[in-house]
């Protein structure tokens, strides 16, 4: 009864322009009318906003788990003959922080996120758009259930914005590539974890890669492996410049 009441209020209550914009966005990307609009408003409320508002961190936690399950199920069924290592690798590329950040921008979710500009500039928050996308997925799940959320993730996000074929064909093991490059020139490669920061619900690592005692790249991630991959990717850009000069 509560869901129908929310839907009734949504249809017959006059909405302000910001709310109309949000409803139009939800309908465009999910193909569904939001029943509990408050969920989506919370999903797009960053923790940098002043106290007294509910941030999207709890919904982000939920959306992260739901997204991981949907992608795992999708890959398991799409590639029945592939081993666990392959499935894990492709899933991690699909749902890593950079990929989700880029995906949020492509679907223009970043335009709807509410945050304190001054705090963001001073403290970073590199992955806030990707985190908001996870929170949005959590909102869709609570509002419409798992099956409809699954349809949204697969039919809209994956089909429209992600090429699994390209992910498979293009090796993104940047750490392996930078090690191969260094060995080619008889140079030593060292990866260092500079910082391990405990955030509210996850850890964030900062890694550095040195080649011949020179810092060549730095990166951050929620795992040491992710941070090292980011650092290696940055280092590869320098090696490309060296070889072209």
**46-82 core/surface letters (b: 16 or more CB in 10 A; e: else):** bbbeeeeeebbbebbbbbbebbeebbbebbeeeeeee
Q: Which residues contact 212 (CB under 8 A, 6 or more apart)?
A: 182, 187, 188
Helices 97-106 and 128-144 cross at an angle (nearest 10°) of: 70
Distances (CA, A) of 133 to 47, 106, 139, 202, 207: 14, 11, 10, 17, 25
3-class secondary structure, 83:
coil
- Is 42 in contact with 59 (CB distance < 8 Å)? yes
Q: How many helices (H) and strands (E) does the chain have?
A: 13, 3
Catalytic residue among 64, 143, 204, 228: 64
40 strand-pairing partners: none
Is 134 annotated as catalytic? yes
Dist. CA 17–CA 34, nearest whole Å: 16
Which residue, 235, 234, 223, is CA-closest to 193?
223
- Residue 241 has which token pair? 């410049």
Catalytic residue among 73, 83, 98, 134: 134
Q: Active-site residues: which are they?
A: 64, 134
């Amino acid at each position: 009864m509560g869901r129908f009441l929310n839907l009734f209020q949504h249809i017959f209550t006059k909405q302000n322009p910001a709310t109309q914009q949000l409803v139009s966005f939800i309908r465009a990307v999910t193909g569904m009318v939001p029943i509990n609009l408050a969920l989506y408003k919370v999903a797009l409320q960053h923790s940098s906003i002043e106290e007294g508002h509910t941030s999207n961190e709890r919904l982000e936690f939920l959306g992260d788990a739901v997204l991981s399950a949907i992608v795992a199920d999708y890959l398991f069924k799409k590639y029945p003959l592939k081993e666990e290592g392959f499935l894990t690798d492709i899933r991690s590329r699909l749902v890593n922080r950079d990929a989700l950040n880029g995906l949020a921008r492509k679907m223009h979710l970043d335009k709807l996120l509410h945050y304190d500009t001054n705090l963001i500039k001073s403290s970073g928050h590199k992955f806030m758009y990707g985190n908001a996308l996870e929170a949005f997925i959590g909102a869709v799940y609570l509002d419409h259930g798992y099956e409809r959320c699954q349809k949204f993730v697969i039919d809209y996000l994956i089909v429209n914005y992600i090429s699994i074929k390209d992910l498979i064909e293009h090796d993104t093991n940047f750490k392996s590539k930078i090690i191969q490059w260094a060995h080619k020139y008889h140079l030593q490669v060292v990866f260092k974890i500079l910082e391990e920061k405990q955030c509210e619900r996850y850890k964030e690592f900062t890694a550095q890669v040195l080649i011949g005692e020179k810092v060549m790249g730095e990166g951050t991630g929620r795992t040491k492996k992710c941070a090292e991959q980011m650092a290696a990717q940055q280092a590869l850009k320098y090696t490309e410049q060296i070889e072209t000069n």
